[in-house]
Amino acid sequence: MKNNAAKISVHAWESDGILLERYAYTSGFVEPLPKHSHEEYQFGLSFNCQGEYHYRGAYHSIPTQSLSVIHSGEVHSPSDRTYLPAAAHFVMMHINPTWLHTIAAEMAENPANLPFFSMAFLTDSILNRLFLALQAATDQKNSKLEQDVALWEFLSYLIKHYASNSPSVRPLKSAHSAVMLACDYLHAHYASDIFLETLAAIVGLSRFHFCRVFRKEVGVSCSAYQTQLRIAQAKKLLIQGISIRTVATMTGFYDQSHFGWHFKRQVGVTPGAYISKTAIIS
């Protein structure tokens, strides 16, 4: 019945200037939100419901699987509809403009203006994938390096491809010795919670340039490389008979379930199944 109010659930968490909100609506009556603005850039991705915004003097329909973009400080209002005929699920992310300003400056290798996005929404499967990777990495269980790399990859791609004042980026040059130094550091500190800023400073590169050259030289991001090192060491420890819980702690994972998720993703089986298969082979 249309008189029934929609039930709304929200899961929200914040980390270092990023506020992430995951919304789930049932069908039913909803109360439109008023016009407002906020300092942060706002990005939204709807999985199964067309979005709507009144923004910059016009109404914009946001197709599903498109990323909405609200610029820092600009007044806007969400949809004025009062009834949802079906369930709706979407993710909203608010990012402090300091992050976009910093990344644009590193891309330009000089001071840069705050990125400006003229479009109300963007339809780009790569951008969506990077946005969802950042959403997943923002979970407190993930390493700081995973969170940092996901943020830089999403925002640098967004700025490079869609900011109307996108800075020019110099051609990628090899930095083999710097990447090898970073790999050596990751091997020595694979279980540590490493900041991207720390790793880039060790090799004498900006975070933006370091992310680019590392992926170019190695084939994966530095955070993925660290996870691979952790799993490789975990396999050796499991074979030695050390408990799964202890191995998770020793290799730098947040907890046993987080370790198990990464292990299965990398190896194809759970840690428990890996031990069983190893025992059978032996």
What pLDDT digit, counting tens, does each position of 147-195 carry?
A: 999 999 999 999 999 999 999 888 878 789 999 999 999 999 999 999 9
* pLDDT mean over 111-123: 93
SS (H, E, C) 228-261: HHHHHHHHHHHHCCCCHHHHHHHCCCCCHHHHHH
pLDDT range class, residue 138, cuts 50, 70, 90: confident
Nearest 10 degrees: Cα torsion 219, 187, 260, 147? -60
211 occurs within a structural domain: no
pLDDT at 282 (0 to 100): 47
Q: State which of 103, 132, 161 marks the end of a domain.
A: 132
CATH number of domain containing 264: 1.10.10.60
216 occurs within a structural domain: no
Starting at the earlier edge strand, list the strands of the sheet with 76-78. Answer: 58-62, 51-55, 76-78
Residues 6+ apart with CB under 8 A from 87: 24, 25, 26, 27, 48, 49
100 occurs within a structural domain: yes
Mean pLDDT, all residues of the chain:
92
66 occurs within a structural domain: yes
8-42 pLDDT, tens digit each: 999 998 888 999 999 999 999 999 989 999 999 99
Q: Are 179 and 238 within 8 A, CB to CB?
A: no
pLDDT at 123 (0 to 100): 95
CA distance 247 to 275: 12
Vertex 35, ends 29 and 41: CA angle to 5°? 105
CATH number of domain containing 102: 2.60.120.10
Q: How many structural domains compose the chain?
A: 2
pLDDT at 236 (0 to 100): 96
CA distance 226 to 185: 10
CA distance 44 to 280: 49
pLDDT at 100 (0 to 100): 96
pLDDT range class, residue 1, cuts 50, 70, 90: very low
pLDDT at 251 (0 to 100): 97
pLDDT at 281 (0 to 100): 53
217 occurs within a structural domain: no
pLDDT at 175 (0 to 100): 87
Residue ranges making up the domain that contains 275: 226-281
229-281 pLDDT, tens digit each: 999 999 999 999 999 999 999 999 999 999 999 999 999 999 999 988 655 55
The percentage of residues in the chain with a pLDDT greater than 70, rounded to a whole number, is 96
